Amino acid sequence: MKALAKRVGEKAESGKRVVLAGNPNAGKTTLFNFLTKSNLRTGNFHGVTTSASEKRAGGITYVDAPGLYALSGYSMEEECAAEEINNADLIINIVDALTLENSLNLTRRLISSGKPVIVYVTKLSKLKRRGGKLDGDALSSYLGVPVFTCSPKQLKREIESGVDFKVTRKNLSLSSCYGAGREGLSRADKLFYNRFFALGFFIAAIALMFFTAFHPAMFGAILKELTEKFICETLGGAITSKMSNPAVISLVDEGILGGAGSVLSFIPQLAVLYLFLTLLDESGITSALAFATDGLFEKVRLSGRAAFSLVSGFGCTAAAIMTTRGYSAQSAQKRTIAVLPYVPCGAKLPVFLTFLAPLFSNPFPVITCFYFAGLSLSLLFSFLIKGGNEGMLSEVTPISIPSFTTVIKKLYFYLKGFIIKVAGVVTAFCVVSWFFSHFSFSFEYTQADNSILASFSRLIVPLFYPMGINDWRLAYAALCGFIAKENVAATVAMLMPAGADLGLSSALGMCAFILLCPACVSAFTASCKEAGLKFTLKCFVAQTVIAFLGAYAVHLLFWLI
């Protein structure tokens, strides 16, 4: 063992490959983020880590492997994890103190693989709160490998200095070093494992989320108006007042601040949405919902695990698609991927508000209906798509009060990603759109109606006539959503600063189109990666046709009314 410890210490200097392995939801990604100062997404449900992530820190390459239960691949993510374990110089086996007996099944298999293994125990504070206990030194003697119950900071120092593998294995029983405490379900667990209560609570929570974000009297809408005024009026006025060139003023005022800046003003409402989703996740309610609704989802040919993907879809469709990688049945994975674009992502929020806010003093009920309509359509189309079902195998997280620090970090992660996307992709798109909407084919600065963009957009506007749309600017804005949904709101704000000025039937038709059309380029790429280009193209064409037909029907219905 001394020789082994020496070799491991030497490898740390030359670039050791350390793989973090364990059951799903054990805390691998949280530890990886600390060891490497990363900010990967974490979550209290199976399927957050779907592919290996690696980063070098302190001369060591750390690898965050997907969760697995055995070294023999049950799913794509487990096969990926097993491959990383085979290439590891050192394995950090993360085990959950709350489910230690189940976690040790994998630990024993990792030890028998012949690779250097250390065990790191998480969730010890939760174990103590329920009356349990764990003796790290005794567990180390029981397993015959080093066991760490220290802080991540101390663990990192141990790894970088070279782990001492000199452990004398003793003939102990697990009960002598571990006590599970009160293992029965708490009252909260019993409530949320009831399918009717879990589903009812989820619907109520989502409705409250929309109320908090959209109702004019709530701080989501109030802060949105203040942010918009600051960006478009205060900041915009201060910048353009120092300029004299009309073209440059137009670019900054209309293209950048009026377009991308107007999208940034939705940050307060998006913060409310992401806060609620994070609280549902970190409290374990999403995990309980998946477990409790497994039987209900079977009726539409989905497993309860699809609840993870559907709830993730409220945040980002591309991220939701990645959560399907853990499915063992490819037909079930493809079915879930096919219906996820109908779950409205956070990027569609600015679009709905752009078209509906001018028509309703309180857009909360209408936007809420659109979100639940999208969720209902995803379940309906899942029922109609042929293919086998997916069995559910997943860890269920106990219901608990979320950590304030974790919630703030995840909220920061979501909002940072949105801001970076707007500052990068959306701003660049607005600049390009501004150029083509202000220059003619002879590259002379001109009015928007005489621009290159207007000439192109007039070719596609007939597709939108049945929605009551005859303005080329709206037709172009709608197609911008195929790249990124934020582009729709940004384009309308840039090309139509006075507003879209749509009637009720046309506004609802446009919102129906955005709701039903394929997701963004990122989601398209994720779908290609998971389900293949051919399948993704079929879904893209079908969803585009459905989007147009659905929008036509909505417009006609409300026009007749």
pLDDT digits (tens, 9 = 90+) for 24-51: 888 888 888 888 887 776 654 555 555 7
* Angstrom distance (rounded) from CA 211 to CA 281: 20
Whether the pTM exceeds 0.85: the reply is no
* Angstrom distance (rounded) from CA 183 to CA 187: 12
Lowest-confidence region among 87-96, 207-216, 389-398: 389-398
Collapse the DSSP code of 401 into the 3-class scheme (helix H, G, I; strand E, B; otherwise coil) and give the result: coil
pLDDT digits (tens, 9 = 90+) for 352-361: 999 998 999 8
pLDDT digits (tens, 9 = 90+) for 504-557: 999 999 999 999 999 888 899 989 988 899 999 999 999 999 999 999 999 999
Average the pLDDT over 72-90 and give the result.
80
pLDDT of residue 513: 95
Grade residue 406 by pLDDT with cuts at 50, 70 and 90.
Answer: confident
Q: Which residues pair with 267 in a beta bridge?
A: none
Integer angstrom CA distances of residue 313 from 29, 323, 546: 21, 10, 19
Pairing state of beta strands 147-148 and 90-96? unpaired
Average the pLDDT over 151-174 and give the result.
85
φ/ψ of residue 537, rounded to 5: -65, -40
Q: Centre a 10 Å sphere on the Cβ of residue 282 and count the other Cβ atoms it contains.
A: 21
User: Residues 6 or more apart from 236 whose CB is under 8 A from it?
Assistant: 252, 253, 257, 258, 261
Contact 91, 19 (CB under 8 A): yes
User: Residues 6 or more apart from 541 whose CB is under 8 A from it?
Assistant: none
pLDDT digits (tens, 9 = 90+) for 374-394: 989 998 888 887 655 555 555
Q: Between these two residues, 451 and 325, which has the higher pLDDT value?
A: 451
Average the pLDDT over 457-486 and give the result.
92
Average the pLDDT over 417-429 and give the result.
87
* DSSP codes of every residue in 145-189: S-EE-S-HHHHHHHHHH------------GGGTEE----SPPHHH
pLDDT digits (tens, 9 = 90+) for 227-248: 888 887 788 788 888 787 888 8
Contact 206, 275 (CB under 8 A): no
pLDDT of residue 460: 93
pLDDT of residue 120: 95
First-to-last C-alpha distance (Å) of the chain? 81
pLDDT digits (tens, 9 = 90+) for 239-279: 888 787 888 888 888 888 888 888 888 899 889 988 998 89
pLDDT of residue 341: 92
pLDDT of residue 10: 45
Domain extents for the chain?
2-179, 192-391+399-560
Name which of 27, 30, 43, 15 is nearest 323 in CA terms.
43
CATH code for the domain defined by 2-179: 3.40.50.300
Q: Centre a 10 Å sphere on the Cβ of residue 3 and count the other Cβ atoms it contains.
A: 8
For residue 120 the two structure tokens come to: 């790191």
Q: Centre a 10 Å sphere on the Cβ of residue 72 and count the other Cβ atoms it contains.
A: 10
* Angstrom distance (rounded) from CA 456 to CA 436: 10
pLDDT at 158 over 70: yes
pLDDT of residue 389: 58
pLDDT digits (tens, 9 = 90+) for 43-73: 545 555 557 788 888 888 999 988 888 777 6
